[in-house]
Each structure stands twice: as C-alpha cells, then as structure tokens.
Structure 1
Amino acid sequence: MAALLAVAVLAGACDRPAPEPEPTATGAPTPAPDLVVLTDVDPRIRTDIRYATAHTFVGRPVAGYDEPLCLLTRPAAEALRRAQDAALARNRSLKVYDCYRPQSAVDDFVAWGRRPGEEQAKGEFYPRVAKSELFDRGYLGAPTAHSRGSTVDLTLVDVPTPPQPAYDPGRPLVPCTAPRAQRFPDNSVDMGTGFDCFDPLAHTDSRGVDATARANRHLLRSLMTDAGFVNYDREWWHYRYRDEPYPDRYFDVPVARSSAR
C-alpha cells in the first residue's frame, strides 16, 4: 500500500510536513510497512484500542480499525517490551489505547471535523472547547506520526490490574477533566484527565492536576524515555519511538491482523 499524505489527526501527532510518496527503484509505490501485532511480541501489555469502539471523541468506531489490535513496527514493539519490563518491576503495566493509525482514520477525523452537527461526545472529550475551534487551537492537525507505525498512545495500570467496566453509550457524559472518581471508569492509574482529552490539563507537565497524577505522568515518561520514546508535551499519553524505521512515510493499511507480517 502506498505511503499517503496525512491531512488531520490529534495535535500530538503533528511532527513534520508529509512528503510525497517515494517510488521504488522499479517505479512501484512504497510497499506496506513491516508491522507486528504488539501482543504477539509481548502478551503482558494490556490493550484498550479505543478507536475500534464507540468510546471515541467522534462518538463511534473510527474508519480503518477493522480489529481491536495494536500494530507497530517491530523496533517500536520491542522497545515497548523493554518499557514493560521496567514497569512491571514497579508493579505497573503498560496499557495501550492506540498504535498504528491508517490514513483512512485520519480522513475520517477530517470529515467529522467538517460536520458541525456531530458533537455527541463533546461533553466528555472537549467540554471546554468549541468543535469549530479544535483545528485552530491545535487539538486536530496534520500529519500524524501514528501513520508511520512507531507511535503509541498509552497509560499505566496497577498490577494486578483491576477490571474495567464495559463502555455504556447510554451513560451520561462526564468531562474528561473531572476527578477520576467521576469520569469514565478507566482502570488506568490516575493521570489527571481521561485519554484523548482536548484540554490544557492533558499537557504532560500541567500544574493543574494533583501530585498523584503528576507523579504517574512522570513515571510513564521516565519509563518510555528510557526505552527510546519521545513524549509530545501536550498529551501525557502520546509517545513516538525516536529511532522509527519510517520517519518520512505514512501508510494506509487497515488495523487488522492481515496487515501484520
């Protein structure tokens, strides 16, 4: 599948302008990325692939997420395994929310952003920002490092890990900025906000969250930095593998086991 230009994604994924697709020596398009299923590399890492569910900021499953899997380049997956080793030594485990993200998902975000009437998830994910301002304020942008296959959104959970209630779409929405006991019952340790929270409180070093949340964010950053990842400072959950194998390519294979090698 050819590498494609990304046109929109969460602000934390905006790394550099997307290049034109690079032809091979024979003139054929760039082949699909070499991706693995994370749980095949390390089954100890928890997964909670939100974009394959209705619990998203668009209020429904996202295009391109055919299966609830974390796909990553092998170097990124192996680095994440090293981070998991270090987390388990502290009685914590990694839990991933999103990994490789296809171009079709990015296109879905853009189309959603252009439809002002679709705001069914506003009360949770962007309660203090008008949808019309999400692009201008940088919460949505272009392109996405996720489409290069070496970027991951994740958190920490305790070990043993408490169960997480199934998402109930009929449950009243609670702002992602609310205290942990009030917002969606994620089994993550307290990070001060929910995942995909479009708010300054989600900035990794925000002083607006309490000491416990700050300590948890800093532990996650320490574990990931030691494993070779770089945090995006406006999203406590967003990490890019520093030595990613496809630094200038963006892909559009679906999130499915058939896309792994």
Structure 2
Amino acid sequence: MKDMKDMKNHSENQDSSGFVKIPDVAGDVILEIRYYSTFNFIGDRIDGYTQPTALLTKEAAAALKAASDEAINQGYRLKIYDAYRPQRAVDHFVRWAKDLEDQRMKKVFYPEVPKEKLFTLGFIAEHSGHSRGSTVDLTLFDMSRGCDVDMGGYFDFFGDISHYDHPDLTDAQRAGRALLRDIMLHAGFEPYENEWWHFTLANEPYPNTYFDLRVE
C-alpha cells in the first residue's frame, strides 16, 4: 500500500486531461475493481470509486496495452484490481486504520497483523503512488485453464507472503510471479518487492502530483 516517493512535494489535482480509462486502450484486460466492491480490507466501497472501471495516465495505459498484448501471446490475460487511486480513497484508508474497533475483514486480509501496527509496518500511509496515476495492481488469468494463476497469495494481503521472493512459495507460484514480473518489466514498469501485484511505470509523467479525480 505504501509508496514514499516524492511524498514531500505532493499536491492534489483535478485535471483529468492526462488520464484515460484502461478498457479504452487495453480492451483485453479483465477488471475486478476491489475498491468499488466491498471485497477489500475495509469491507466497504472506497471513497472516490463511483464506477467499476480503472484509470491510468495515457503513458501508463499505453505501456499496459503492450503488457496485455504480450500476456495474450503467452496464453494469459491481465486482471486489474486497482490502478489510479484518488487521494480521497487514501484518506479513507487512513481513517479506517485509525478506527481500531472496525476489524470486519481481519480474518481475510490481515489475520496476523495487529491493526494498530498497520502504519508503522508500512501497510497504510497518508499518500500512495497510485494517486500519481501510473501504478497498477494486477495478476494473470490463465485462458487455457479458465482461472487466475496461483501466485501463492492474494491481492492486498497484509503479510510477508505478499513479498515477491517469499521463501515458502512453490515452484509453480514462483513461476507465476516471475512471468507477471517479466511481462510488466518488458512493458516499462517497475515492481515493488513487498507486493507481487504492484507495478509503476518507470517514466511516470506526474512523479510529484497526487490527483483526487473520481474513478468514473
């Protein structure tokens, strides 16, 4: 969840001219927008997600299209959990993290982590690189088997199994994570070691700007 890059120089912004809807550029991706649904670590729809779609900067969307094409050539499709994230959504995360009484989703998303430590352990922060518009959370869908690739852990799990190189992964799970990483690296994205699903465009166009557009 956490990304400290350029945090000192953040500014909220409402200019949508540099953004596109991912399906308009990469029509083969699958959208499973967790923050529009209630199946997420909070258990409610997250502020700022008014439609079950996903946005990215034009540059990041073009790179994602290249990644999608490569995935399809290898028999997979990209499944998107989240992309651009409004600052108001991050603010929602922060408010929730401070409410220690609300632990509805603990058994699913943070069973071994005390909620009061989510800030100090880096799972929740006041700003996210997602709000800069060029970060995406995703996995691979295996078209021949009709299911998601087994990655040995799932999106937004607050625990060590989410780290890319966790030692308890099977060979097949390591291979799944490696394939996703290779596809994204080849398209121009950089990984985040603590979250196997998290990638940011290497040359993101707005490295110092945190946007607050609604996802719609």
Shared fold by TM > 0.5? yes
RMSD: 1.6
Partner of 1:204: 164
Partner of 1:16: 6
User: Counterparts of 1:74 and 1:56 in 2: how far apart (Å)?
Assistant: 27
User: Counterparts of 1:20 and 1:216 in 2: how far apart (Å)?
Assistant: 35
Partner of 1:193: 153
User: Counterparts of 1:202 and 1:228 in 2: how far apart (Å)?
Assistant: 22
User: Counterparts of 1:65 and 1:83 in 2: how far apart (Å)?
Assistant: 25
Alignment of 1:51-90 (within 5 A): 51-90=35-74
> How many equivalent residue pairs?
216
User: Counterparts of 1:223 and 1:49 in 2: how far apart (Å)?
Assistant: 21
Report the TM-score when normalising by structure 1: 0.79
User: Counterparts of 1:134 and 1:103 in 2: how far apart (Å)?
Assistant: 18
Aligned counterpart for 2:29 among listed residues 45, 52, 58: 45
Partner of 1:106: 90
User: Counterparts of 2:88 and 2:211 in 1: how far apart (Å)?
Assistant: 9
Partner of 1:175: none
Aligned residue for 2:80, secondary structure, equals strand
Runs of 4+ in 1 over 4 A off after TM superposition: none
Aligned counterpart for 1:229 among listed residues 171, 182, 189: 189
- Confirm or deny: 8 A CA contact 2:20 2:57 kept in the other structure: yes
User: What is the identity, as a one-letter code, of the residue corresponding to 1:19?
Assistant: N
Confirm or deny that 1:132 pairs with 2:116.
yes
Confirm or deny that 1:239 pairs with 2:190.
no
Aligned residue for 1:51, secondary structure, equals coil
Instruction: For residue 30 of structure 1, report the CA deviation from its aligned partner.
Output: 7.3
Report the TM-score when normalising by structure 2: 0.95
User: Counterparts of 1:30 and 1:96 in 2: how far apart (Å)?
Assistant: 23
Instruction: For residue 18 of structure 1, report the CA deviation from its aligned partner.
Output: 3.6
- Rg comparison, structure with higher value: 1
Q: 1:139 to 1:96 in 2, by over 3 A?
A: same
- Confirm or deny: 8 A CA contact 1:18 1:249 kept in the other structure: no
| Structure 2: gaps spanning 5 or more residues | none
- Confirm or deny: 8 A CA contact 2:134 2:201 kept in the other structure: yes
User: Counterparts of 1:127 and 1:30 in 2: how far apart (Å)?
Assistant: 37
| Structure 1: gaps spanning 5 or more residues | 1-9, 23-28, 163-186, 257-261
User: Counterparts of 2:11 and 2:60 in 1: how far apart (Å)?
Assistant: 22
Aligned residue for 1:132, secondary structure, equals helix
Aligned residue for 1:113, secondary structure, equals helix
> Deviations along 1:67-123, whole A, 9 cap, x unmatched?
011100111011011111111111011110000000110110010011001100000
Q: 1:33 to 1:247 in 2, by over 3 A?
A: farther
Instruction: For residue 197 of structure 1, report the CA deviation from its aligned partner.
Output: 0.6
- Aligned residues: percent identity? 41
Q: 1:30 to 1:65 in 2, by over 3 A?
A: closer
